[in-house]
Structure 1
């Protein structure tokens, strides 16, 4: 079952900052502009309209192979 997380960092133009994630603690991978933005869990939490959510911080981008 997916749970919601708050994304911090990465490209400013990401369409959403509150997104569903898979298993708690697993990295989140967001498709964006021909690649993926990768986010890792932190120990922090963020108050949002969806409630207080775990913060996932951007750590890398990978390109989609053609």
Structure 2
């Protein structure tokens, strides 16, 4: 459990590529903790999974996460 004085993790801009075509553009641009390697987005009764690409090139403003799979929410 985080301590009261712990600073929040630094976040960076990220872009989600691939996956369902109906995933809204507003969901495809987000901020994630700098060390995250995976992102999971709830969508249409399941989760869309994205994995981080290589580190961004100098001058790039966002890290790219590419779609890898979809899982259903357990009932």
Q: Same fold (TM over 0.5)?
A: yes
Contact kept, 8 Å, 1:3 with 1:24, in 2: the verdict is no
Residue 46 of structure 2 aligns with which residue? 35
The 3-state SS of whatever aligns with 1:52 is coil
- Cα shift at 1:45: 3.9
Higher gyration radius (CA):
2
Q: Does 1:11 align with 2:20?
A: yes
Q: How many residues align?
A: 62
Q: Which runs of 5+ in 2 are unaligned?
A: 1-8
**For the residues of structure 1 that align with 2:56 and 2:50, how far apart are their CA atoms?**
14
Maintained 8 Å contact 1:7/1:55? yes
Q: For residue 53 of structure 2, give the secondary structure of its aligned residue in structure 1.
A: strand
Deviation at 1:26, TM superposition (A): 2.4
Aligned to 1:20: 31
Tell me the residue number matched to 2:61. 52
Q: Per the alignment, in what secondary structure is the counterpart of residue 20 of structure 2?
A: coil
Alpha-carbon RMSD across the aligned residues, in angstroms, is: 2.1
More strand by share: 1
Report which of the two has the higher share of helix: 2
